[in-house]
Structure formats: C-alpha cells, structure tokens
Structure 1
Amino acid sequence: MTKLESVLQALNNGEVIAYPTEAVYGLGCDPDNEAAVMALLAIKQRPVDKGLILIAANYSQLLPYVDDNAIPSEKRYQIFSSWPGHVSWVLPASETAPKWITGNFNSVAVRVSGHPVVQQMCIAYGKPVVSTSANLSGQPAITDRIELEQRMAGKLSAIMPGDLGGATQPSQIRNALTGDIVRS
C-alpha cells in the first residue's frame, strides 16, 4: 500500500492524518465525519466553537460547504484570483455545512491550495479535508517532520509524505464579505 493509499484509508475510516501545507504541517480528517473532527479537536485541545478551515484541490470541492449564491459578485474576483494559493477565505456557509466545521459561525473558512501534496490528496479523496496546524492549540505550529512524528506519536493514523511549500507563515485568513484580515 502506498502512503497515499494509507492516508485515503485513514480518512475513509474516520481517522486523523497529518500532511505538509504551504508553511506548516497540518492535521486533517473527513469534514463530514463528526467523530473524526472531534478526535482531531481532542488532539489539538481546541474547542469546536472556533470552527475549522477546509482545504481543497479546487473550488468545486468546497461547494457543499459554501453558500455560493451569498458571495457578492464584486468580491468573487478577489477570492478566486487568490486561488490556488496561500489565502483562506471566510465565506457564507451552506445550510448543510456541519456545525462541527463552522463552529459558532454562519460562515466557513476555506482554501484552495496550490501545494502539490494537498492537491494530490484532495483530488484522490474527492473532497476537501479539515486543515488545522499540527500542534496543541496556542503552541507554535510544527514545521519539521521529525518534530511532527515525535509530538504526534500515537495520535495520527497516517502522515502524507512531502515537503512544506516554502511559505514562512500559515495562510492568511480573510473575511470575504468585509475584506478584513482575520489572521495575517
């Protein structure tokens, strides 16, 4: 079994994985599996009410979670021209977006990544995955594979191989409706 196959099997089984992103290692799981998301949040020691980012290979994968009709036409160019890329956008959530993803919000944070490993994983999986930094909440993000393996020992079912993308900071998060920077 290839590493990709073991990652896909872990996702399908509702388990938590890690993978390289543009700047840091991320933790991920199936966004539609509440038990998987709760397991990921337990690893991070993060409350569900904060919401989570979804990362995808293309915007089409995000449509089940986003209320596309609620995105103003004058904002669409700025959003879509930043993808694939290193910007996460807070968009209006669809009525079917799980509350364990949106948290206490009527919006959902999403990103179409240009990272080749993320692209490969999301295309093979056929949908987005949860994307949150691989660290305990409030601690520095992990940028070293050995540190990832040590700090997350016994907590992950699979780690997607590959290098980080070379960005120096986690993705910027912007509110699509206001243009405000939520995280720089």
Structure 2
Amino acid sequence: MTGSDRREDIVRRIQESGRPVPAKSLAALYHVSRQVIVQDVALIRAAGYEIISTNRGYILGTAPSVSRVLKVKHTDDQLEEELCAIVDLGGAVENVMVNHRVYGHLEADLHITSRRRVAEFISDIKSGKSSPLKNITSGYHYHRITADSEETLDMIEEDLRKRGFLVEPKEDEREGHDETEYTLLH
C-alpha cells in the first residue's frame, strides 16, 4: 500500500467510524509507526480535511454547510411529516423560532438530523413534557435548516412548498418593511 493509498484509507476510516480513531490503532492496522500516522494526518489536513485530534483519537470535523431560514405553518398532526421531509432530503433542523406579539422573538435549538431524532422529539412532545412552540403563534414558525449545499436547501424548500407547509414571504417582508419578519428571513 502506498502512502497516498494509506492516507485515503485513513480518511475513509475516520469518516465511517462512530467514535474517535486512535493513532495507535491506525499504526497497527497499516503496520507503520505512530509517527507515520501523525505525519499522514498532517498531510491529510494540508489537503483540506478538518481532522481533529482528541485525547481518544482522530475525528473528522463538521462538513461545510449552508443554512436558510424558512417560514412554515402546519398542524400538530403534520409535525412529524414536516421534520421527516427535511431530514429525508439531507437537511438538519437546527432550531425553531417564533415572533410572538407580546413576548417577542423566541427561539429553541432542535438539532434534528435524522428520523431517529425526529422520533425522539415527537415522543417528547406526545409525552406531555411540552407543546410545540408554534402553538403560541397560530402555527406560524421558522426553522433554520442546514444542508451540504444550496441545491439541497432548494429541494427542501420546494418539497415543503408542495406539502403546503411553506409560507411564502409577503412582498413587504421581502423588501424589509416588516423588520421583525425581515431579520429572520435574512
């Protein structure tokens, strides 16, 4: 195996691992010294990969992402459908935001990235721990959604539009006349 092949394989192993990958384990796997692995990681970083050294091993940094804030509205019964539509297309629902006429801007982190996380969130809501934040604003709310590309965000936005969840901004919101709405949209 060449050094280049080994470095490609190291990146693959770190990407696919669910936990930090120790340099000692990589060295044993490739029958090289730990120092060779440290040098390989330096070359991998120089090639543009964000590899982070932890006390338990190497992990891959977060992938570059783009985000968009979308205004949506749906019923409680459609909550799971909305979240699954987003994660199924490769998006992550980072938060939920509402603009209440009395309380002002309220925001809660969600970090929903998979159907498993959707199921956990829905389970928490159904357990009676709380109700969706959207319920204090007649169902209207915003999500900051992250994805790997603008194209993915476009697909998510189009899918939410087709499902009837997307609230199209009013003309005055696009031009910035409604400052509360405008700051969330941009």
Could you tell me the TM-score, scaled by structure 2's length? Answer: 0.30
Q: Bigger radius of gyration, 1 or 2?
A: 2
TM-score, normalising length from structure 1? Answer: 0.30
Higher relative contact order (CA 8 A, sep 6+): 1
